Amino acid sequence: MTLWDKYPVIKEEMDAFEGTLRRFLSSKNELIGSAISTMVSAGGKRLRPALTIASAHFGEYNMDEIMRIASSIEILHMATLIHDDIIDEAKTRRSMETMHQKYGVNVAIFAGDYLFSTSFSILSVKEDVDTLVHIASIIKSVCEGEIEQYCSRFSKDMSVYKYLRRIRSKTALLFMLSCELGANISHCSRDVTNSLKRFGMFLGMAFQIKDDILDYIGDETKIGKPVGNDLKDGIYTLPLIYAMEKDNNGKLKDLLYNQPYEIEKIIELVIKYGGIKYAEDLMDKYSKKAKEELNKLPHNEFRDFLFELTDDLVNREN
Amino acid sequence: MTLWDKYPVIKEEMDAFEGTLRRFLSSKNELIGSAISTMVSAGGKRLRPALTIASAHFGEYNMDEIMRIASSIEILHMATLIHDDIIDEAKTRRSMETMHQKYGVNVAIFAGDYLFSTSFSILSVKEDVDTLVHIASIIKSVCEGEIEQYCSRFSKDMSVYKYLRRIRSKTALLFMLSCELGANISHCSRDVTNSLKRFGMFLGMAFQIKDDILDYIGDETKIGKPVGNDLKDGIYTLPLIYAMEKDNNGKLKDLLYNQPYEIEKIIELVIKYGGIKYAEDLMDKYSKKAKEELNKLPHNEFRDFLFELTDDLVNREN
């Protein structure tokens, strides 16, 4: 059972995609091959490849090309996940052991590097110079976003603006790129490409805000990790940032100066000060903007699919 | 005082190179900018860019192009160094604190990724598809070599063959690539390009064997780290591998089964069983092969420089 079973329009291609991904990820090295293959089997939402595939259907669809580019994006994403998990000291992802937990930090660092190189090597074969430069600059942004997040841990002067800039770098740009590359390969018109790009960007923003909301009010059995996971690492996200701004009597700040955090009390205050409500409203705004872009696209079953996907992602429980 | 002061033929370009490198490595993010700038200032041998520059002088030399490609190779090398140092838990490099030691593992992981992306983004601008695919495949080999090394730690059945295959992956291929890219950009003839590539490969092998010899008999004040540094991490290199093969009465193996290692005793036996001598002989063979390739090149001051460099590298004390 995958996420895509409920979307017949894309299900078959998503199944084919898994095969392509595996073919691109074979390695001469036994350990790296086994580590990566475990990660592929553990699955993942495969959202980015789905966006590439759906976007490509707005132009002249070429399955081989699309599978190749969708794989390179998912591989890039996997590389960042491996390195993220090391940094966050995450023990599990999707209720499975993370790579560094199972194989050690050292294998995980190089496995990530290996995936970066693999992705570039797949992309280099056919993409033009401008595209490659663009992709590389987006990965640089992703790294900058992650580093900024790490450096701002426990910082009491995080602002909504800084938060939005960060999630744009670390999440939304890659969503945008996934749509853009699909559109470009299929030679979509400039208008269609631009709408798809903006759609991807807005969806990415909504997606990350939802992720951050789930860290406060998610169901632990569903999200596959404890609530307050980011919070305890000092990663302050939108619900908390807003709540801190409303915290006139300093109750919340007091809690944030005491280590280890009393997670339950903090979450209670974040909810009380309207942090969740504010984050949900902003998420809804982004999801509305995403849909406005979809409305500019020619109507077809893939547009319907992207509408449905947007709703499902902001309503998701994990 | 840099390594290049003694080579007037290349000194000026190596100085110019430092400037280009810095220009390519500016970052919007303050911390990453500062971490990387510290690393650039700490210096390094800059061997790989020097090989690119010298190789390019055998064809139609284009300074801007060469500086660009030389930077991308050095940046790639810096990325692998940062990740290597994390894995080796190295506290110092060239007597300066390593990046993860100064800024934390987390910053260092993403700084490495950032440098990988920067390198690709520089390369993507002008290189053709075949070159990019070739470069990406070499980085994959470097990662595979590093992972293989990590997985073989403390393994008593390391062989000379496995060792040579490993150092080819993790070191010599990038030396080869440095020469190859210089030759390609300058449109050298196929023969000249092939000789330069083989020269780079053989020099890289000799260079790494020397590095591994220094881990046994180097002067700690000169190499900027304690002797037996790799050894204590369970990285068995040529001197030890050979000595283990000659260790008929099992004295050396006994020492290797006892943790923590008695480094001095092990080094003593490695020397006694001829491990250093064997490694030096093999290094000399590679350096001789490297020079044979140089002899096939047209005679000019850069060929003389590469001869001298080869001798200096195998005779170096750090």
A64's tokens:
């081989």
Chain B residues lying within 8 Å of A125, measured CB to CB:
129, 133
Residue of higher predicted confidence among B286 and B24: B286
Q: How far is A133 from chain B (nearest CA, A)?
A: 5
Chain B residues lying within 8 Å of A112, measured CB to CB:
109, 113
Asked if the structure places residue B318 within a domain, the reply is no
Domain that holds residue B120: 3-308
Please tell me the predicted confidence (pLDDT) of residue B44. 83
Please tell me the predicted confidence (pLDDT) of residue B164. 97
Q: Report how many Cβ contacts below 8 Å link chain A to chain B.
A: 137
Residue of higher predicted confidence among A118 and B278: B278
Asked if the structure places residue B317 within a domain, the reply is no
Q: Do A107 and B31 touch (CB under 8 A)?
A: no
Asked if the structure places residue B200 within a domain, the reply is yes
Instruction: Look up the CATH number of the domain holding residue A72.
Output: 1.10.600.10
pLDDT in tens, B130-159: 888 888 888 888 888 888 888 888 988 899
Preferred mutation among A140, A146, A169 to probe B, highest tally of B CBs within 10 A = A140
Query: Please, which residues 70-109 of chain B have a Cβ atom closer than 8 Å to chain A?
Result: 79-80, 83, 86-87, 104-107, 109
A26-35, A143-152, A185-194, B240-249: range with lowest mean pLDDT: A26-35
What confidence tier does A44 reach under pLDDT thresholds 50, 70, 90?
A: confident
How far is the first Cα of chain A from the last one, in angstroms, to the nearest whole number?
15
Q: Do A121 and B140 touch (CB under 8 A)?
A: yes
Q: Which of A229-238, A305-314, B76-85 has the highest mean pLDDT?
A: A305-314
Report whether the peptide linkage leading into residue B260 is cis, meaning its omega lies within 30 degrees of zero. yes
Percent of chain A whose predicted confidence (pLDDT) is above 90? 58
The region, left, alpha or beta by phi > 0 then psi within -120 to 50, assigned to residue B299 is: beta
In this predicted structure, the answer to whether residue A152 has a pLDDT above a threshold of 90 is no
Q: What is the mean pLDDT of chain B?
A: 90
Paired residues of A93 in beta bridges: A96
Structure ipTM over 0.95, yes or no: no
- Tell me which residue of A244, A290, A299, A246 sits closest to A266, measured CA to CA: A244
What confidence tier does B162 reach under pLDDT thresholds 50, 70, 90?
A: very high
Total structural domains in chain B? 1
pLDDT in tens, A290-310: 999 999 999 999 999 999 999
Please tell me the predicted confidence (pLDDT) of residue B1. 55
Chain B residues lying within 8 Å of A76, measured CB to CB:
none
Give the single-character DSSP code of A121: H
- Tell me which residue of B304, B52, B305 sits closest to B193, measured CA to CA: B52
Please tell me the predicted confidence (pLDDT) of residue A85. 86
What confidence tier does A70 reach under pLDDT thresholds 50, 70, 90?
A: very high
Asked if the structure places residue B189 within a domain, the reply is yes
Q: Which of A18-27, B83-92, B173-182 has the highest mean pLDDT?
A: B173-182
Percent of chain B whose predicted confidence (pLDDT) is above 70? 99
Is the dihedral angle over the CA atoms A151, A110, A181, A293 positive or is it negative? negative
Distances (CA, A) of A265 to A252, A258, A269, A271: 9, 12, 6, 10
pLDDT in tens, A259-282: 889 999 999 999 999 999 999 999
Chain A residues lying within 8 Å of B129, measured CB to CB:
124-126
- Tell me which residue of A35, A109, A90, A230 sits closest to B100, measured CA to CA: A109
Please tell me the predicted confidence (pLDDT) of residue A42. 80
Q: Which of A195-199, A226-230, B109-113 has the highest mean pLDDT?
A: A195-199
**CA B17 and chain centroid, separation:** 18
A142's tokens:
């992703």
Q: How far is A152 from chain B (nearest CA, A)?
A: 11
Task: Please name the residue of chain B whose CA is at the shortest distance from the CA of residue A130.
Answer: B125
Please give the backbone phi and psi of residue B299, each rounded to the nearest 5 degrees, phi first: -80, 125
Chain A residues lying within 8 Å of B113, measured CB to CB:
79-80, 83, 112-113, 116, 139, 143
Preferred mutation among B116, B137, B142, B235 to probe A, highest tally of A CBs within 10 A = B116
Given a contact cutoff of 8 angstroms between Cβ atoms, the answer to whether B209 and B168 are in contact is no
